[in-house]
Amino acid sequence: MATKHARVAARFMISPAVLLLLGWMIVPLSMTLYFSFLRYNLLMPGMEEFTGLTNYRFFLTDPAFFAALTNTILLVGGVLLVTVVGGILLALLLDQPFFGQGIVRILVIAPFFVMPTVSALVWKNMFMNPVNGLFAHAAKALGLQPFDFLSAAPLTSIIGIVSWQWLPFATLILLTALQSLDQEQLEAAEMDGAPWIKRFWFIMLPHLARAITVVILIQTIFLLSVFAEILVTTNGGPGTASTNLTYLIYMQSLLQFDVGGGSAGGVVAIILANIVAIFLMRMIGKNLDA
């Protein structure tokens, strides 16, 4: 991009892609904004009228909204905690030389390739089912009462399922980061008299900081919109015990046919996601610069 001519040409060349992306974003966004100010119910077609902020007032004062907000935070936070801690431990394990390393690494990555609906159904029917599930069988074999995961601890169960899906991703990123650590640094620390746990704390963990922030950033974006796992397992219940913001918007617009209310919820979700994004970007921007 040395000359002015080249810069102009470059802008000209990328403009179609930029315009396409802009349209892709702006059309649904403005439609959602527009719908959020309408009284728009699918059961009463042709009766849309402008209602101002009623939809927002309705959505924000709904007790389900705060339950959903808390659940979203718990879900995102819980999964991040499990995948980051578990990912570091798995990465440390997989970094050791052992027989069949290649196959084990592929097996560890495998859950990431299973689509969310399928994995949630497998967990629901084959593991967590209180009658036929593997966990129920295990409990009975030990003479214990089977635990009904999805009704007794719905959110925790969903956190477990989603963590299982995202653990491979975290492990993969953290493993590559770990492998890029200069071995001489670890040897130097060993000569300096640092036992393994201190080498981990003072050398490996700071080296992983950047990879951890990347994992947190990417996962947060996807975890804010977890939907399929909830739909096929608990349907958001019992009550609102496992309803997150995405699922609440779905209920509002497609189960209660209130497109206006759902759109208002969507706009609220966009605003909240952007607040999170700003904080994350600041935090991570600092970490990526260093």
Partner 1 sequence: MGRITLDKVRKTFGDVEVIPPLDLTIEDGEFVVFVGPSGCGKSTLLRLIAGLEDVTSGQIRIDRQDATDLPPAKRGLAMVFQSYALYPHMSVRKNIAFPMKMAGLPQDEQDRRIEAAAKALNLTDYLDRKPGQLSGGQRQRVAIGRAIVREPAAFLFDEPLSNLDAALRVGMRLEISELHKRLATTMIYVTHDQVEAMTMADKIVVLRAGHIEQVGSPLELYNRPRNVFVAGFIGSPKMNLISGAEAEKHGAVTIGIRPEHLGISTESGLWKGVIGVSEHLGSDTFFHVTVEGLGEPLTVRASGEVSLKYGDIVWLTPNEVNLHRFNAEGLRIA
What is the binding site for partner 1 (CB under 8 A)?
A: 182, 184-185, 187-194, 198, 202-203, 206-207, 209, 290
Our CB check for partner 1 shows the closer of 75 and 208 to be 208
Look at residues 219, 149, 207, 211 and name the one whose alpha carbon lies nearest to residue 183: 207
* Residue 96 C-beta: closest distance to partner 1, Å: 17
List strand residue ranges (DSSP E) for the chain, in order.
38-39, 49-50
Task: Let me know how long the chain is.
Answer: 290
* Residue 182 C-beta: closest distance to partner 1, Å: 6
Look at residues 90, 275, 61 and name the one whose alpha carbon lies nearest to residue 174: 90
* Residue 208 C-beta: closest distance to partner 1, Å: 11
CA distance 5 to 211: 39
* Residue 102 C-beta: closest distance to partner 1, Å: 20
41 bridge partner residues: 258
Our CB check for partner 1 shows the closer of 138 and 187 to be 187
Angle at Cα 221 formed by Cα 161 and Cα 175, nearest 5°?
Answer: 70
Our CB check for partner 1 shows the closer of 69 and 181 to be 181
Q: Within the chain, how many helices (H) and strands (E) appear?
A: 14, 2
DSSP 55: H
* Residue 93 C-beta: closest distance to partner 1, Å: 23
* Residue 193 C-beta: closest distance to partner 1, Å: 4
Our CB check for partner 1 shows the closer of 20 and 209 to be 209
* Dihedral of alpha carbons 265, 270, 275, 279, sign: positive
CA distance 110 to 167: 10
CA distance 216 to 79: 10
C-beta separation of 81 from 290 below 8 A = no
Our CB check for partner 1 shows the closer of 238 and 285 to be 285
* Residue 199 C-beta: closest distance to partner 1, Å: 10
Residues near 98 by Cβ (< 8 Å), separated by ≥ 6?
A: 104
Our CB check for partner 1 shows the closer of 96 and 145 to be 96
Our CB check for partner 1 shows the closer of 192 and 255 to be 192
